[in-house]
Amino acid sequence: MGDAYNEKTVTSRGDNCNMKQKTFLSGGFQANNQFLLKKLDKVMAKIVDTEVLNLPQDVPDDIQAFYDELGHPFFDSKTKAPILKLAKLQLRIWMLHRKYKKLLVLKSQKIGISSLCILICLWHAFTDCMGMEILITAQSDEQAKTHAQDLRRLILGSDKYRDYLITSEFTQLGLLKDEVTKVHTIYLHNPKNMRLPTKIIVAGMSPGALLSHKRVGLVWSSDMTISGLTSQKMNDVWSAFISRLALTQGPCIVECPARAPAGPVYDTFERYEKEKEMKRRLDPAHDFYVEKFTYQLGIRDGFFTEKFIEAEKRILGPLFGTLYNADFFASENTWYSEEHFANKTEEATDLFMAFHDKDDSLSDLTDD
């Protein structure tokens, strides 16, 4: 009886051990299974997201139609009403850009030119610059950040194009983990080759930040002449972004106010004027075409009124010509000689910025 008791006891203890072991193993497998299921759900979610990405390639050739598809992001700063039609001067710049690979626009302030250039950059990103780099240089790092923010807002505000913006990792498509939109760099999906995204780099006027890029399909330089750089430093920046187009032969747009009669902007303007005087034909693929867009066009297209301009003339005096009439000198008279602009302390910049403390705003077309 004692033996029977011991045998039953041992058997009972063995059964208990087996049950505990089975329970432990079952719980372990269940926990692990739940972990795997969560992982699988995440992977499947990414796959589903990838499959439903809407990346249309039927981009209109007309910049007004493209602006319509983006949902009319510009608005009147006074009435807050959306701007439905681009201005005549903006359509003129688009036409010149399509005709000439290199374009220098000497501009009045606040007539919507920087905003138009943002549209042009996006148009190229969705068309002939897919899988390439688009290089944007702004007058400062802070303004570069603003341009990048405007670009992101423009894309996300469009029902048609918002899926192009890469805001999270898509390593399952062959993209690198760091190929995600950041403060100064915008990544867009490339439906022609999902492993090679389109990259928009927005930087300040630093030659070092520009020279490292190898497959640049488009350059837009904004407000170089009011960047505070000396003529030599502007030449360095100019050479840096022009050289990035050597292999692709892509287009370049430089838009800025006319300012000191020195530096690459002035040299390009002077060269163009001499060529025009000698009646030489431009090479649309390689020579810079130069055109002035003055305050008269701003009045014509409703950016400001004649009364506003007359008041600005009284307030700004000699500076009016550089700010609103795209003049390298402040009026028809030569107020300054070239040596006045050789001052490396940039005191003229301080005076200029006292009247112009910020750059163009994407969503404020009448104040652009």
CB 175 within 8 A of CB 168: no
What residues contact residue 294 under an 8 Å CB cut-off, 6+ apart?
108, 324, 325, 326
Please give the distance of CA 207 from its chain centroid, rounded to a whole number: 18
CB 138 within 8 A of CB 147: yes
DSSP codes joined into one string, 308-368: HHHHHHHHHGGGHHHHHS--SSSSSS----GGGGG-TT-HHHHHHHHH--S---TTBGGG-
Structure tokens at 102: 């290199």
DSSP codes joined into one string, 81-147: PBP-S--HHHHHHHHHHHH-SEEEEEE-SSSSHHHHHHHHHHHHHTTTTTTSEEEEE-SSHHHHHHH
What pTM value is reported for the model? 0.77
Using alpha carbons, select from 273, 268, 262 the residue that is nearest to residue 288.
268
Please give the distance of CA 311 from its chain centroid, rounded to a whole number: 34
pLDDT of residue 60: 97
Q: Where are the domains of the chain?
A: 1-52, 63-367
Structure tokens at 95: 């036409």
CB 55 within 8 A of CB 189: yes
The helix/strand/coil state of 268 is helix
CB 134 within 8 A of CB 197: no
Class assignment of domain 63-367? alpha beta
Could you give the CA distance from residue 288 to residue 246 in angstroms, rounded to a whole number? 15
- pLDDT one-digit tens code per residue, 239-250: 999 999 999 999
Radius of gyration over alpha carbons of the chain, in Å? 30
Could you give the CA distance from residue 215 to residue 132 in angstroms, rounded to a whole number? 6
Structure tokens at 104: 């220098």
pLDDT of residue 269: 97
Using alpha carbons, select from 273, 283, 215, 224 the residue that is nearest to residue 253.
224
pLDDT of residue 122: 97
pLDDT of residue 173: 75
Could you give the CA distance from residue 253 to residue 123 in angstroms, rounded to a whole number? 14
First to last CA, the chain: 103
Q: To 5 degrees, how large is the angle CA 249–CA 254–CA 259?
A: 145
**Which residues of the chain are modeled with pLDDT < 70?**
1-33, 35-51, 330-368
Kind plus residue range of the DSSP H or E element containing 253: strand 252-256
Structure tokens at 82: 């959306």
